[in-house]
Chain A
Amino acid sequence: MIRLQNVSKIYPNQTRPALNDVSVEIGKGEFVFLVGQSGSGKSTFLRLVLKEERATSGEVHVAGKDLARLSSWKVPALRRQVGTVFQDFRLLPNKTVSENVAFALEVIGRPRQQILKVVPEVLDLVGLKGKERRRPDELSGGEQQRVAIARAFVNRPMILIADEPTGNLDPLTSVGIMRLLDRINRTGTTVVMATHDDDIVDQMRRRVIELESGRLVRDQSRGVYGYSH
């Protein structure tokens, strides 16, 4: 589903590579934690997968496509297959919960009938039934993240990328979010989650990929956050 082969990324005007000769393969339906300190290259990894950045060298394959050869007008099609969730939720404050989720479908031209059908379904799935008409500022952090996950998942992407999705949430709320991501993973969606949260990684016991200064230093199935813990 995601395959990086000897990938390096050096940002302009910087000498130290953000990613240094990383090779990794993530299969369909896997749940992968991407761990490492700030600046270890996690975000660069995710940005490469979304084609927000281009690899300096090496190959990045996502959903069967070589991203280096993907022309820019095909990038939207790629992103429709990759859902994204962020630490800061990125919801539209002047739209309701339903509208926020529907927005993702409106802008890629889905028909009205389909939107009316799938938005309540996905809101039910993430546990926000009954809060469709609320606005983001009327919701708790955990609920806002559920809206963001609903928006990322409503299009049934093959891959869900989550960049520190629990970074702004308390431990109990985080557990709820992890259960939700786990449920999404069980529908067959590949989940890649960058995180700092050692408790979560240790509890979930899933594959762990650790980056350090841009190098891949550990790739462990059913791993824990780090040896020091």
Chain B
Amino acid sequence: MRATFIVNEIGIGLRRNLTMTVAMIVTTAVSLGFLGTAVLFNQQVSVMKDFWYDKVEVSIFLCGPDPAEGTAGSCAGGEVTQDQRDSISADLQKLPEVDKVYYESKQQAFIHFKEQFKNSAIVDNVTPDQMPESYRVKLSDPQEFPIIASAFAGRPGVDEVQDQKALLEKFFKVLNWVQWFATGLALLMILVSVTLIVNTIRVAAFSRRRETGIMKLVGASNFSIQLPFLLEGAISGLLGAVLASGSFVLIKSVLVDKLLAPNFPIARFIGWDAVWLSSGIVVVAGVALAALASFFALFKYLRV
């Protein structure tokens, strides 16, 4: 069949069921929007993981003058001595898993503390002497924490070995749940829109049963009978995907660049490459799903 003829037929088909077509495009857009947002979210989480895991350290807090309750075991000997400090430092340097070691004195800890809580009254009640001194250990692989923990926990002069990654992991666990929820919602919405596409195409096939009946009669091939319907589905899918992609551009340019990024300088956010990736995914998914749904809808209707 000639292209202009097919385009005409598709135009007639889409216009005939305008409200259904609009509903089909909008639900496709919304469900693909969910799908793409889930992809963007996923990308954001992995950007944050890369960014923060790169910065996490293991803190080895040393015993202070008056040890906290419950940790008295290793700090029974009172405040850490210079010998203990030196041996801990030397052992840390020897470990192959250790990338870098920083020493944070009480004074430095106090400065950091004041910075972190500068708007809080708590600062006024704290003296440098109350702050714990610590070794900040940067591991070449953040997964190696247990080695450090077993080597230094309970050692004389060491109060506590703390893994910052454990704190982050709680946070990422929550994000993981949000991610699963978003993906589940996206799949549910896709199911809804596929059902709607199947129905719309069926109605279209039914309302054009005269045409298709004549096409069969005069010997049009199955393919050329189904093609206009498949393309109708695919075009709606494409339009839905384009609308959804538009929403990703908005998310990136308004939500991320204008609202989040200036207010959370400590975090890093997705770049445009993530937007293009999700747009690509939803365009392919949208067209393929719509065409498949149309094919499925026609399977029964338009047999020879």
Q: Which residues of A contact B (CB under 8 A)?
A: 50-51, 72-73, 75-81, 83-84, 90, 92, 103-104, 106-109, 111-112, 151-152, 155
User: B224 at the A/B interface (Cβ < 8 Å)?
Assistant: yes
Shortest Cβ gap from B1 to chain A (Å): 5
Query: Is A76 a contact partner of B1 (Cβ separation < 8 A)?
Result: no
Query: Which residues on B sit within 8 Å (CB–CB) of A103?
Result: 211, 214, 218
Query: Is A76 a contact partner of B214 (Cβ separation < 8 A)?
Result: no
The contact sample of 28 A-B pairs, CB cut-off 8 A, is: A72-B222, A72-B304, A73-B221, A76-B219, A76-B220, A76-B222, A79-B217, A79-B219, A80-B218, A83-B218, A90-B214, A92-B214, A103-B211, A104-B214, A106-B1, A107-B214, A107-B220, A107-B225, A108-B218, A108-B219, A108-B220, A108-B221, A109-B1, A111-B2, A112-B2, A151-B214, A152-B218, A155-B218
User: B216 at the A/B interface (Cβ < 8 Å)?
Assistant: yes
Other contacts beyond A106-B1, A111-B2, A155-B219: 18, CB < 8 A: A50-B217, A76-B219, A77-B219, A78-B219, A79-B216, A80-B219, A84-B217, A90-B213, A92-B210, A103-B214, A104-B214, A106-B2, A107-B214, A107-B215, A108-B218, A108-B220, A109-B224, A151-B218
Report the bound CA distance from A103 to B5 in whole Å: 9
Report the bound CA distance from A75 to B221 in whole Å: 8
Query: Which residues on B sit within 8 Å (CB–CB) of A112?
Result: 2
Most chain B beta carbons < 10 A, residue from A81, A84, A103? A103
Shortest Cβ gap from B219 to chain A (Å): 4
Query: Which residues on A sit within 8 Å (CB–CB) of B221?
Result: 73, 76, 108
Query: Is B210 a contact partner of A107 (Cβ separation < 8 A)?
Result: no
Shortest Cβ gap from A97 to chain B (Å): 14
Query: Is B224 a contact partner of A75 (Cβ separation < 8 A)?
Result: no
Most chain A beta carbons < 10 A, residue from B210, B214, B215, B225? B214
Query: Which residues on A sit within 8 Å (CB–CB) of B218?
Result: 79-80, 83, 103-104, 107-108, 151-152, 155
Query: Is A106 a contact partner of B5 (Cβ separation < 8 A)?
Result: yes
> Quick one: which of B209-238 are within 8 Å of A by CB?
210-211, 213-222, 224-225
Residue of B nearest to A104 (CB): B218
Report the bound CA distance from A155 to B220 in whole Å: 12
Query: Which residues on A sit within 8 Å (CB–CB) of B1?
Result: 106-107, 109
Query: Which residues on A sit within 8 Å (CB–CB) of B222?
Result: 72-73, 76
Query: Is A90 a contact partner of B220 (Cβ separation < 8 A)?
Result: no
Query: Which residues on A sit within 8 Å (CB–CB) of B213?
Result: 90
Report the bound CA distance from A51 to B217 in whole Å: 10
Shortest Cβ gap from B18 to chain A (Å): 16
Shortest Cβ gap from A52 to chain B (Å): 8
Query: Which residues on A sit within 8 Å (CB–CB) of B225?
Result: 107
Query: Which residues on A sit within 8 Å (CB–CB) of B211?
Result: 92, 103
Report the bound CA distance from A170 to B225 in whole Å: 35
Query: Which residues on B sit within 8 Å (CB–CB) of A77?
Result: 219
Query: Which residues on B sit within 8 Å (CB–CB) of A84?
Result: 217
Query: Is A90 a contact partner of B210 (Cβ separation < 8 A)?
Result: yes
Query: Which residues on A sit within 8 Å (CB–CB) of B224?
Result: 107-109
Shortest Cβ gap from A73 to chain B (Å): 7
Residue of A nearest to B304 (CB): A75
Shortest Cβ gap from B264 to chain A (Å): 59
Residue of A nearest to B215 (CB): A107
Shortest Cβ gap from A115 to chain B (Å): 9
Report the bound CA distance from A81 to B217 in whole Å: 11
Report the bound CA distance from A108 to B217 in whole Å: 11
Shortest Cβ gap from B15 to chain A (Å): 12
Report the bound CA distance from A139 to B115 in whole Å: 91
Encoded as 1 (CB less than 8 Å from any A CB) or 0, chain B from 281 to 304 comes to 000000000000000000000001
Report the bound CA distance from A76 to B215 in whole Å: 9
Residue of A nearest to B224 (CB): A107
Residue of B nearest to A80 (CB): B219
> Quick one: which of B1-23 are within 8 Å of A by CB?
1-2, 5
Query: Which residues on A sit within 8 Å (CB–CB) of B304?
Result: 51, 72, 75-76
Closest A-B pairs by Cβ, 3 of them = A80-B219, A79-B219, A107-B220
Query: Which residues on A sit within 8 Å (CB–CB) of B216?
Result: 76, 79
Shortest Cβ gap from A101 to chain B (Å): 10
Query: Which residues on A sit within 8 Å (CB–CB) of B215?
Result: 107
